[in-house]
A = this chain, B = another copy of it.
Amino acid sequence: MSQPSDRYLVISSDCHAGLPGAKYRDWVDPEYREMFDVAFPMQQSEVERLTRKFMPDEFKAAWRRDTGDGWHGAWDSAERNRQLDGDGIAGEVIFPDGVNDGNLPPFGAGLTLPPEVPSDLIWAGAKAHNRWIAGFCQEEPKRRAGMAVIPMAHDPVRAVEEIRWARANGLRGVFIGPLWGKHEPYHSPVYEPVWSVCEELDMPINIHGGAAPTEDYGDHPGNIGIFITEVAWWSTRPAWFLIWSGVFERHPKLKFVITELGASWVPELKALMDQRFEANHFTAKLAPYRTELTMKPSEYFDRNIWVGASVTSRVDVEMRHKIGVDRMMWGSDFPHPEGAWPYTRKFMAESFHDIPDADVRQMLGLTAAKVYGFDVEALAPLVARIGPRAEDLSLPAAERHVAAAR
């Protein structure tokens, strides 16, 4: 390991990038550009309406004041490098939705499964983003691992083609949404070829928190509280669909990552599934349902599933042995306002200040390097220049920032 001993390799398992919405036009296949011109203003005004509703203007203004033009790093390569350097981040896993405000991929790209958008348009939007992000990552291939947007519920066959295209063009994983309602559930046989190609090409599959069936809520001021109480559950749900249906049994090398939801839910979920797996008084009356599995559910979890524990909280770090030190990956969520940027060292200090060095290295970078295939040797010179030092993580308590637990 050529990491300089006084610097940490930091790979953010959770960053975002995206063009200002209108600029995606050039990346859309020509036959969809006319439709883009119709749809874009509608999409934009809907995003603005929602942003105004859920993120107060005063908060946004204050935050922009604090962070200057740094958020242009969502699409500006040089600005992005400056901001990541400043935060001490050498490598990053890049999801869409760059600035949490107006740069969704065209037609929504299926990110939140708006049910009324035709599948063709959703795919056109996903491909536009994938083309752009592939080029953006090729500008910094050692640092940037882009995730391809794969709205596979809208066409699993096309998903396989797009994943092959993504891999050939340097993208390093796939991003799928949580799922409910009218699409085929993720343990449906129609997705088997998708799992196969991801396993074959070593493309980790990522669920990233943020979507829940808010159409269940009606319109109520308490909805935000409901949403932030249950949103993590919706993104973890695919894990038990895949485990129980034997997807990881059939695809032992498949990597599945659940990001931006903390990690404190992991021990309880593993214990719950194992308890349900064991023959006991509660399950005795049930028909055979363990037929797809040769191991306990928690063993699939510990082999095939990782957690992108963005802005890893102190609570999560203290639970690391129950969660798995090698399952948890730190992330900055750049450039989202609920993330660590531009105060990454202050958040790290709060969570890691007294944790053994080997564990810190694992959670800050080494696990992500393994999951997403970063070349640690190639990043070493950059780490030597920008990586945080042990003293950065030893800030006095008064100078640290506290990340939201859970």
Contacts and interface: CB of A to CB of B under 8 A. Distances in A.
A223 B184 CA distance: 14
Given A225-B244, A286-B224, A287-B224, A216 B185 contact: yes
A65 interface: no
Contacts of A2: none
Nearest to A232: B272
Given A233-B233, A338-B281, A286 B218 contact: no
Contacts of A338: 281-282, 284-285
Interface in A199-221: 213, 216-218, 220-221
A164 interface: no
Number of this chain's copies in the assembly equals: 2
A231 to B, nearest CB: 10
Interface string A273-304: 10111001111111111111000010000000
B54 A286 contact: yes
Contacts of A283: 228, 404
A220 B404 CA distance: 38
A158 to B, nearest CB: 20
A317 B3 CA distance: 49
Contacts of A233: 233
A59 B284 contact: yes
A32 interface: no
Nearest to A52: B287
Given A240-B229, A338-B285, A275 B218 contact: no
Contact of A229 (B218, B221, B244, B290): B244
Contacts of A59: 284-285
Interface in A368-406: 401-406
B55 A286 contact: yes
